[in-house]
Amino acid sequence: MQAEIITIGDEILIGQIVDTNSAFLGKAFNKIGVSIYQITSIQDDRTHILKALKEAEDNADIIIITGGLGPTKDDITKHTICEYFNDTLVENKAVLAHVEHLFSKYISTPISDLNRQQALVPSKSKVLMNRFGTAPGMWLEKNGKVFVSLPGVPYEMKALISNDVIPALRLKFEFPYIKHKTVLTYGVGESAIANRIEGWEEALPSHIKLAYLPSLGRVRLRLSGKSRDKDLLETEIEKQIDLLLPQIEDIFIGFEENGSIETLIGNQLSKLGKTLSLAESCTGGKIAQVLTANAGVSKYFKGSIVSYATESKINVLEVSKLDIKSYSVVSKEVAEAMAINVRKLFNTDYAISTTGNAGPLKGDSDAEIGTVWIALATKNEVYSQVFNFGNHRDKVIMKATNKAFEMLQKEIFKK
Amino acid sequence: MQAEIITIGDEILIGQIVDTNSAFLGKAFNKIGVSIYQITSIQDDRTHILKALKEAEDNADIIIITGGLGPTKDDITKHTICEYFNDTLVENKAVLAHVEHLFSKYISTPISDLNRQQALVPSKSKVLMNRFGTAPGMWLEKNGKVFVSLPGVPYEMKALISNDVIPALRLKFEFPYIKHKTVLTYGVGESAIANRIEGWEEALPSHIKLAYLPSLGRVRLRLSGKSRDKDLLETEIEKQIDLLLPQIEDIFIGFEENGSIETLIGNQLSKLGKTLSLAESCTGGKIAQVLTANAGVSKYFKGSIVSYATESKINVLEVSKLDIKSYSVVSKEVAEAMAINVRKLFNTDYAISTTGNAGPLKGDSDAEIGTVWIALATKNEVYSQVFNFGNHRDKVIMKATNKAFEMLQKEIFKK
């Protein structure tokens, strides 16, 4: 069973936006055992859309179309799909009510006819309600093949895929059972891990595949199997995991299927009834932002001080001026003082601090670009480590954020 | 003149990586007046590669192929292109010397025959030397059409495009002049803007196109024109902008070509010699993170207090307990107190605060999900506004962040 993705929008072709939808769709379909035959990105052009639909119908069983569903003139996907299906547009009452509700509740400008036209859908289509926006998803079928047209806005598309499209596909088709189990590791590179587990990898049965997924100082090891016999496959994968874990005990974080490292940390802090605060310099709020991207963290996360300027470290975090002068602002001493002081200020069990040089230019410190000190304070002690995360600003910030979580994970899970 | 991009690699189709190369290529070609007809992503599969090459040759004048040039078995792009051109592979001495040099200088493992085979190129191809890797770029021609095969590693591909491919294309073809001008607006939706500027839009000359690019409470209006007469086109676009701006004065931020709103704000604060601090509750560090994603902000950005838990608003930001009890933590009074207090704490000219309910569950407040108060404090005054940003957590956080920048922009640019 194969799928094709068609993404529509001039903004993709002129490079104004990066198409992240396709990677999400690739992953989502991979999980249910459907491979993507082709991803085709085209402009908002009637002839080209019709051609792409025809070719996709020839090649794939499931055709996912994203984009071009906005209310303005340049968005022609809906009309063109309607034409492809020899169909006419009809007003869907539920969508109209939803659009009117969104306008009355969230939007200050009055609703217009253009907005109301979002409720027009091909008469043969099954509507997929879009909780997060005005353009509905549309499900159409032709010669046993499924066409789904979705809005291009990533979070709207993602919700529709996860909540509506995948469940409906599961009802319509019978997919083989696919099992992924992904081991999260940190601190050791891809090829070093490959060397370490070479014997195990070579002895894997042929229907279980291993993929190395390296990213910013972490490597995910994904075991994947496909089978009609669910129980047998699960047992086999568990057996392989049991053989693997003793070889990577020192770098093992957990299983991705149980949640990200932030989730694992949050669950553990909640379980222990412990709290956390942060003092961020070079990470500039990134650690707080990653934590608070998840709901429900206020149980254990009390807050952060982003002391971006050196004077803020002195005035707000009460780091000693003399320490900054003697050791420089990127130093063990300053990192540890930041962690100790912020822990007291927020009255938490743990505190983490970062101070470093993310580049591209040296800031208030002479430390080499990429240098980051990370400190962790508990009620009884404080300790710190120094890293060099290279010379790419975003990467330095993200790697420091990852490393901060790893230090905390080690601390709160230690026996 | 049109180009097609073919990206080859299983990792794209299964969603393991996001294809950022295509957006870079789209931008690069757009700049020289070549529009991208289609982006086609396919697996490392011989038949499919041959089919994609044939279709691209039918549709486009320039075909850019990325990926599948690695040394391992799954990389078959080079052999397949060679087959498509009825050509044979020959060893290129310069590439071989380069590969051997890279190995002796940077790579600890000894060079293998697989690595040496990177020097095999189709005999009809012109080699483009890859400074940053072992796989060379290859330029081939057929019936006046240009095929360029490039490595998929983004920084290798980008260097080859900028240093070799674009200059060579400029020598071979004469390109029209392309001009984009993108108007940044906020606060009014896509269709409301469309209604407002309908008359202007309909009177646009046919060779100037308008696109609406909406995202989280902001809409970008992009005017694009293509012409052989550079001066005339620029004059025409400026004339259209002059007609447009009076109609959208109240929602106009600036031109994207001059930088993002954060950049505009940063430049203005630097120019005025003014400073900024933040007190973030529901945005959880996002505003600080967006600011500090850019280098050099410490000139005007002093820091942020992420007072995520209610007790941190009391203990760290010294918001009155009574106010929180009387008005609730999501209120005008608390937002304004946060802004006033953080401004004093960091001793800045401006301070912004956010307090709200990002959902999905109600937290320390009974305020409806999506409700966010944003306050702005200056040395002389404080004011605030309340918004409802809907029921999607990420969206609420991002819209509140955007709105905070908009309020600041209005404040610092006001006459």
User: Does B20 contact A at CB distance below 8 Å?
Assistant: yes
Residue of chain A nearest B289, judged by CA positions: A285
- Per-residue confidence (pLDDT) for residue A100, from 0 to 100: 95
* Sign of the CA dihedral with B166 first, then B168, B172, and B174 last: positive
User: Does A98 contact B at CB distance below 8 Å?
Assistant: no
Reported as half-sphere exposure (CB side, CA atoms, 13 A), residue A200 has a value of 19
Residue of chain A nearest B298, judged by CA positions: A309
pLDDT band at B211 (very low <50, low <70, confident <90, very high): confident
**pLDDT tens, residue by residue, B214-249:** 887 789 999 989 888 899 999 999 999 999 999 999
CB nearest A393 (choices: B289, B295, B316): B295
Look at B190 and A71 and tell me if their CB atoms are within 8 Å. yes
B415 pLDDT higher than 60:
no
**Nearest partner of B404 among B186, B189, B93, judged by Cα:** B186
CB nearest B308 (choices: A18, A115, A303): A303
- Per-residue confidence (pLDDT) for residue A360, from 0 to 100: 80
- Per-residue confidence (pLDDT) for residue B108, from 0 to 100: 65
User: Does B19 contact A at CB distance below 8 Å?
Assistant: yes
Mutation choice for A interface testing from B14, B281, B347 by most A CBs within 10 A: B14
Q: Give, in order, the Cα–Cα distances in Å from A14 to each of A87, A220, A398, B2.
A: 31, 33, 28, 12
Does residue B188 or residue B84 have the better pLDDT? B84
Look at B306 and A20 and tell me if their CB atoms are within 8 Å. no
Report residue B187: phi and psi, to 5°.
90, -15
Nearest-angstrom CA–CA distance, B369 and A264? 26
Q: What is the mean pLDDT of residues B254-258?
A: 88
Decide if B397 contacts B284 (C-beta within 8 A). yes
User: Does A168 contact B at CB distance below 8 Å?
Assistant: no
Q: Give, in order, the Cα–Cα distances in Å from A55 to each of A3, A64, B55.
A: 12, 13, 11
Chain A residues whose CB is inside 8 A of the B206 CB are none
B46 pLDDT higher than 60:
yes
Nearest-angstrom CA–CA distance, B396 and B388? 8
Look at B395 and A155 and tell me if their CB atoms are within 8 Å. yes
Report if pTM > 0.95: no
Quick check: bond before B360 cis, omega within 30?
A: yes
Neighbours of B332 (CB within 10 A): 16
Q: Give A61 to chain B, closest Cα distance, Å.
A: 16
For residue B164 the two structure tokens come to: 């070799």
Look at A74 and B214 and tell me if their CB atoms are within 8 Å. no
Please name the residues between 267 and 296 in chain B that touch chain A, using a CB distance below 8 Å. Answer: 277-278, 280, 284-289, 291-293, 295-296
For B340-373, b/e burial (b = at least 16 CB within 10 A) is bbbbebbebbbbbbbbbbbbeeebbbebebbbbb
Please name the residues between 345 and 364 in chain B that touch chain A, using a CB distance below 8 Å. Answer: 345-347, 358-361, 363-364
- Per-residue confidence (pLDDT) for residue A363, from 0 to 100: 67
Residue of chain B nearest A310, judged by CA positions: B302
Chain B residues whose CB is inside 8 A of the A280 CB are 285, 288
Decide if A75 contacts A8 (C-beta within 8 A). no
Report residue A118: phi and psi, to 5°.
-60, -20
Task: Give the residue ranges of chain A where pLDDT is below 50.
Answer: none
Look at B285 and A297 and tell me if their CB atoms are within 8 Å. no
Residue of chain A nearest B294, judged by CA positions: A393
Question: Locate tokens 């230690």: which residue?
Answer: A414
B144 pLDDT higher than 70:
yes
User: Does B107 contact A at CB distance below 8 Å?
Assistant: no
Chain A residues whose CB is inside 8 A of the B210 CB are 74
Q: Give the largest Cα separation in chain B, rounded.
A: 82
**pLDDT tens, residue by residue, B176-207:** 888 889 999 988 888 899 999 999 999 999 99
Nearest-angstrom CA–CA distance, B397 and A155? 13
- Taking the CA atoms of residue B397, residue B400, residue B402 and residue B405 in that order, the dihedral angle to the nearest 10 degrees is -130
Chain A residues whose CB is inside 8 A of the B346 CB are 312, 315-316
B398 pLDDT higher than 70:
yes
Please name the residues between 303 and 322 in chain B that touch chain A, using a CB distance below 8 Å. Answer: 303-309, 311-312, 315-316
Look at B192 and A112 and tell me if their CB atoms are within 8 Å. yes
Q: Which amino acid is at B242?
A: D
Q: What is the mean pLDDT of residues B93-117?
A: 86
Conformation bin of residue B328: beta by default, left when phi > 0, alpha when psi is -120 to 50: left
Element of type H or E holding B215: strand B208-215
Q: Give B398 to chain A, closest Cα distance, Å.
A: 10
User: Does A22 contact B at CB distance below 8 Å?
Assistant: yes
The average confidence (pLDDT) of chain B is 92
- Per-residue confidence (pLDDT) for residue A12, from 0 to 100: 94
CB nearest B289 (choices: A289, A307, A347): A289
Q: Give A286 to chain B, closest Cα distance, Å.
A: 5
- Per-residue confidence (pLDDT) for residue A179, from 0 to 100: 86
Q: Give, in order, the Cα–Cα distances in Å from A294 to each of A147, B197, B283, B304.
A: 33, 40, 11, 20
